[in-house]
């Protein structure tokens, strides 16, 4: 038998935000077993916790969608870290998650965690945004700034639009642009409130629409600096991301981006984590058990 948890990230209210499965001890499962459990849990992502492979990490995580393994682990780091602290498996404070050969710093308590990233964001890339706008049910008239491809880690396609266009956006699943473009981040930014209203369509990551995406929220920090929407003097600027309301799963992501020499060099995203459910599951009979 294995234990598993279900938590909702970036909300303090169960059944809102982004649901995540967490297997706190996956040492009894091999690759096929993890994939089978992820299919059975049936959430967008399930995080499987393993002993760290390096002394620099406090825990190692492998993340599976119902279809395949995800190489990143950033999106789920907040919910995984808070769950491990709540269950008493790790102490509250600064943790280091190992996933896909990368180390991620997470500050966690039992019901809240902050994921921090450092380094240069993805360099800007030239691209034609018109097909992606069409795939989101929008047009060039909805744009209020130049589209951008950027992010810390995975690079996201950012479509800055007027506030009314966010609610009108829709994922046109049959559009051929999704064959080559994995995502679209439709964002309306209010500089006065330092708040971004966001929709994230990510069919390339197995999510037609994501109710809360930490990686995209971090990438928006790099976009805000490039677009001049936060001060480009050295220092740290806070911004907030609101997401998921259209799906009935409102989420709040509290973010900050740090600028040095006029460039984004670090970002962080903080969210509450609500425990929603827990259970036990038989080991998959169709998969070999790890030895």
Active site residues: 45
Structure tokens at 141: 């008239």
CA 30 to chain centre: 25
Which contacts of 23-26 are long-range, i.e. CB under 8 A and separated by 24 or more positions? 23/47, 23/48, 23/49, 24/49, 24/83, 24/84, 24/87, 24/89, 25/49, 26/2, 26/50, 26/62
140 CB contacts (<8 Å, ≥6 apart)? 129, 130, 133
Distances (CA, A) of 166 to 133, 143, 201: 12, 11, 12
């Amino acid at each position: 038998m294995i234990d598993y948890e279900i938590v909702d990230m970036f909300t303090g209210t169960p059944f809102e935000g982004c649901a995540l499965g967490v297997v706190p001890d996956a040492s009894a499962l091999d690759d096929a077993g993890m994939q089978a459990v992820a299919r059975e849990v049936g959430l967008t992502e399930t995080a499987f916790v393993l002993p760290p492979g390096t002394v620099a990490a406090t825990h190692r995580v492998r993340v599976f969608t119902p279809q395949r393994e995800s190489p990143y682990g950033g999106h789920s780091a907040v919910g995984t870290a808070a769950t491990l602290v709540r269950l008493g498996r790790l102490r509250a404070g600064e943790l280091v998650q190992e996933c896909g050969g990368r180390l991620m710093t997470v500050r966690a308590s039992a019901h809240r965690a902050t994921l921090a990233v450092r380094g240069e964001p993805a360099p800007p890339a030239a691209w034609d945004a018109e097909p992606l706008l069409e795939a989101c049910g929008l047009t060039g008239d909805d744009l209020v700034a130049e589209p951008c491809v950027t992010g810390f880690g995975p690079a996201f396609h950012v479509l800055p639009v007027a506030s009314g266009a966010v609610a009108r956006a829709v994922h046109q699943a049959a559009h051929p642009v999704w064959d080559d473009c994995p995502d679209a981040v439709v964002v309306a930014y209010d500089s006065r409130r330092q708040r971004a209203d966001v929709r994230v369509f990510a069919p390339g990551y197995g999510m037609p629409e994501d109710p809360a995406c930490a990686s995209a929220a971090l990438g928006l920090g790099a976009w805000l600096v490039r677009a001049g929407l936060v001060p480009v003097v050295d220092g740290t600027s806070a911004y907030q991301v609101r997401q998921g309301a259209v799906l009935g799963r409102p989420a709040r992501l509290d973010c900050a981006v740090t600028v040095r020499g006029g460039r984004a060099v670090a970002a962080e995203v903080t969210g509450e984590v609500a425990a929603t459910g827990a259970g036990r599951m038989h080991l998959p009979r169709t998969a070999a058990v790890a030895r």
